[in-house]
Structure 1
Amino acid sequence: MTDAAVVNSDAPTTPLRRPPALPYPKVAQGVAFAGFRRWMMRKAIDKYGPVFAINIPFFGRTVMVADQKLVKQVFMASTDDLINVQPNLSRIFGDGSVFALDKEAHRTRRKLLAPPFHGQSIKNYEKIIEEETLRETANWPEGTEFRSLEPMNRITLNVILRTVFGADGIELDYLRKIIPPWAELGSRMATLPEPPFSLGRRSPWGRLAEFRRNFDDTVFALIDKAEADPRLDERTDILALLLRSRYEDGTPMSRQHISDELLTLLGAGHETTASTLGWAFERLRRHPDVVAELVRENDEGGGDYRQAMILELQRARTVIDFAGRHVTAPHFELGNWRIPHGYTIIVSLADLHRNAEIFPDPEKFDPSRFVGTRPPAFAWMPFGGGTRRCIGAAFANTEMDVVLRTVLRDFTIETDNAPDEKVHFRGIAYTPKDGGLITVRRRRAA
């Protein structure tokens, strides 16, 4: 694939211009994309600019984009032209997941899912977030270095379980046990081709299938309990809201689709937030000036600087580094390029966030860049964009805010000049390699 003009069959007089392509074998490109994507992207952008083509297993012929104006085109495109990337996470979450849906089916499902993630519903969850933070931090060691990533995973998992199902119980204890190993395995398998034949129950795909059967059985039991609850109409948990929801024709969601969506919320709703919080503590340890300002503001009851810190954290340590679309139109006009039908377009979120023209000195961790100002549109996009922007973005922001507010209130975070932790790729999310090591001391009442 080259820049050379090629005649387009549906418009014989129009030259077909494609972005410059990486001149390496497909397998080599696939290995680089899967295992060394951040490095590969930076090298390719330095050589070819913010738009270039690759050809990789799984996604096939793909155009990578890290230009703000072109990113806007991708995310604002009609769903008649671009649909969700193929394949996608519905392979892990199920055919009833919002990841599997496009066009009108996708719009309709998002309307059903939206109420728990807006306004007063999120405000109601703040108490749960603080309770789970206090439960987890009650036994934090004082003066001893420890990994923050695992406690953050436990907090976010317990929060999403309680907000989804409404209460604790034997079923939730079981889900706490099986979800973490599933999330770790699923994230590693998410961008690997599924074999055309069974490799047995002990294979990774066999283990994922066994988990799914166990998860569905547990959720169906919880649905039975909820439907038998005489106070179902008063409940505010997400399961109850989904059971009460109706499509425009009056029909309810099927049990299997509810299970698929709940798995999507559990899988996508805790690990990414926990990873970002792990990065928060990794960054704060190395920035005493940021910690001092956060503590001062927190003690005075404010939160603007904390919000700015969260925005900068998501820019500087982007946990999910790309979002994709699939071209279903005969071709898609992307700036000066014409992208053929069947191609994948991937927006490199991490590289978008390190654009020095938009974010001066992008390698610097500087929350002040977001104090009193909103992030620029289509340049700060940790939750993706357009009609497929993460539906739980506001929930995740609230969760990070409450966890940090609670920890800063109760603990002093010790700072030093330790080297930055390297980035560790877990299959989907990028985490601190050493787990966000911190040392804390409990604050004593004056």
Structure 2
Amino acid sequence: MNEVTIAERPESPAGLLPPGPTRSGALQAVGFVLARRRVVGRLTRKYGEAFTLKLPVFGPTVVVTDPQLAKQLFAANTDDVGNIQPNLSRILGPGSVFALDRADHKRRRRLLTPPFHGKSIRNYEKIFEEETLRESVNWPLGQEFPMLEPMMRITLNAILRAVFGADGAHLDELREIIPPWVTLGSRCATLPTPKRDYGRWHPWGRLAEYRRRYDSVVGRLIEDVAADPHLADRDDILALLLRSTYEDGTAMSHTDIADELLTLLAAGHETTASTLAWVFERISRHPEVLAELVAEADGDGASEATGNVQANEYRQAVILETQRARTVIDFAGRHVYAPTFELGKWIVPQGYSIIVSLSQLHVLEFDDPQRFDPDRFVGNRPPLAWVPYGGGTRRCVGAVFANVEMDVVLRTVLRHFTIATTSAPGEKVHSRGVAFTPKRGGRVVLARRN
């Protein structure tokens, strides 16, 4: 999009919508689909904290790049603004938490929260370490290779074991289905749903076929676990969901559980793996950061040997800074249900979408944002503008799970491998549709430690 061709959007009759470009709605649509970060960055520089666009899928949209406006949106009454329409339920199914809104969404989150906090998370830490060690056995040594795909396998296997409580041949078909389904679904999620069925060779037809295969496999697994005489003693996510009930005593249907498990399997591995690939890409280019990480990981080992609580403050800071500097999911949105919604000095009409540009917040609201500096998070709580998991009632329910998984995977690699540093330029950002990954996959050179 060429800035010299962008004209100011006339104010609404009430004069209360943010400004924005007016020429060529088709150009706006194509630009957002093909290069939304570049387009949003240009428009932010031109219009500031908020601007109005007409987008594919979402229609008339206000884009927000200010943390106070984002906080106001995330904290708003769910009767006024709700789940963005359409949303990822087009891909994940109508029983997914992404499909629900208002009271239904609140009720479902109460069922999903227990498996992702406290004791449940601690039960998964051994799985994270075991899957990292299993995957790392065949890593090439002394030669450059991309970390993205190994991280995808680690995080997929980890979430499969966490969900179903065991490993084995019965999960092999899911390992075959999920990766291509996630890749294709991520690309289709930003495109309009076709109005007709183009058959199995069309992307949406292939998604439907993956879903049929998934439903067949997971339906059998759900029935097997539900019939397990030891269901009450199991601590896997599927068992916890099968035992959970709403306030009125009713349980989730098996169809809804299948949709939620698909949500966990999809969202629970691609974004985490992408962030880990960025972590390795970043630390290989910052020797001082890598050295401090290694020292901390070795210190963790000594602490564990003596029974002391491990310290991981710097590792956490590196993960937080990577999520800021290389944001994997770059927007979170809401849909206006009220007749009008006040957003700062603006009035947004019913039917509009409001999108918060997470990547812009991570640039605009931090000092020297291009510098990779984990120390900005050491000893400090993340500020309001740090929002990689979204915010409010729709903040990612698996945020704690993902954070602990990244911590354990990074710690395990640091203890068993030496990561070579490089002066090569940082890898460019590559769009997979929904998620953003290193263009070359986060390539590193490893050597095994004694």
- Counterpart residue number, 1:184: 183
Matches of 1:431 and 1:352, distance apart in 2: 18
- Counterpart residue number, 2:5: none
C-alpha deviation, 1:142, in angstroms: 1.4
Matches of 2:11 and 2:258, distance apart in 1: 49
Matches of 1:277 and 1:5, distance apart in 2: 44
Between 1:342-351 and 1:44-53, the stretch displaced more is 44-53
C-alpha deviation, 1:210, in angstroms: 1.1
Matches of 2:101 and 2:12, distance apart in 1: 32
2:365 aligned with 1:366: no
C-alpha deviation, 1:232, in angstroms: 0.8
Q: Which amino acid aligns with 2:380?
A: T
2:245 aligned with 1:246: yes
C-alpha deviation, 1:5, in angstroms: 5.7
Between 1:270-279 and 1:220-229, the stretch displaced more is 220-229
C-alpha deviation, 1:318, in angstroms: 0.1
After TM superposition, the structure 1 = structure 2 runs for residues 193-232 of structure 1, keeping only pairs within 5 Å, are: 193-232=192-231
Aligned residue for 1:353, secondary structure, equals helix
- Counterpart residue number, 2:390: 384
Matches of 1:170 and 1:155, distance apart in 2: 17
C-alpha deviation, 1:207, in angstroms: 1.1
C-alpha deviation, 1:3, in angstroms: 5.2
C-alpha deviation, 1:224, in angstroms: 1.7
- Counterpart residue number, 1:335: 344
Equivalent pairs, count: 433
C-alpha deviation, 1:141, in angstroms: 1.6
- Counterpart residue number, 1:11: none
2:423 aligned with 1:424: no
* Aligned 8 A contact 2:9 2:21 in 1: no
2:447 aligned with 1:441: yes
- After superposing on structure 2, the runs of 4+ consecutive aligned residues of structure 1 that deviate more than 4 Å are none
**1:218-239: CA deviations, max 9, x gaps?**
1110012112211111000011
Matches of 2:18 and 2:151, distance apart in 1: 41
Matches of 1:362 and 1:58, distance apart in 2: 31
C-alpha deviation, 1:213, in angstroms: 1.1
After TM superposition, the structure 1 = structure 2 runs for residues 242-321 of structure 1, keeping only pairs within 5 Å, are: 242-301=241-300, 302-321=311-330
- Counterpart residue number, 1:322: 331
* Aligned 8 A contact 2:151 2:276 in 1: yes
C-alpha deviation, 1:368, in angstroms: 0.4
**1:9-60: CA deviations, max 9, x gaps?**
xxxxxx4411001123111101111111111111111111121000122111
Aligned residue for 1:390, secondary structure, equals coil
Structure 2, gaps ≥5 residues long = 1-7, 301-310
TM-score by length of structure 2 reads 0.95
Matches of 2:116 and 2:9, distance apart in 1: 45
Between 1:296-305 and 1:362-371, the stretch displaced more is 296-305
Matches of 1:40 and 1:5, distance apart in 2: 23
**1:321-358: CA deviations, max 9, x gaps?**
00010000001101110001100000000000001xx3
Aligned residue for 2:22, secondary structure, equals coil
- Counterpart residue number, 1:96: 95
* Aligned 8 A contact 1:2 1:18 in 2: no
* Aligned 8 A contact 2:88 2:189 in 1: yes
TM-score by length of structure 1 reads 0.96
Between 1:316-325 and 1:46-55, the stretch displaced more is 46-55
Percent identity at matched positions?
A: 63
After TM superposition, the structure 1 = structure 2 runs for residues 52-201 of structure 1, keeping only pairs within 5 Å, are: 52-201=51-200
Q: Which amino acid aligns with 2:427?
A: E
Aligned residue for 1:143, secondary structure, equals coil
Root mean square deviation, CA, Å: 1.0
**1:260-296: CA deviations, max 9, x gaps?**
0000000110000000000011101100000001111
Matches of 1:16 and 1:74, distance apart in 2: 20
**1:189-214: CA deviations, max 9, x gaps?**
01111111111122111111111111
C-alpha deviation, 1:308, in angstroms: 0.5
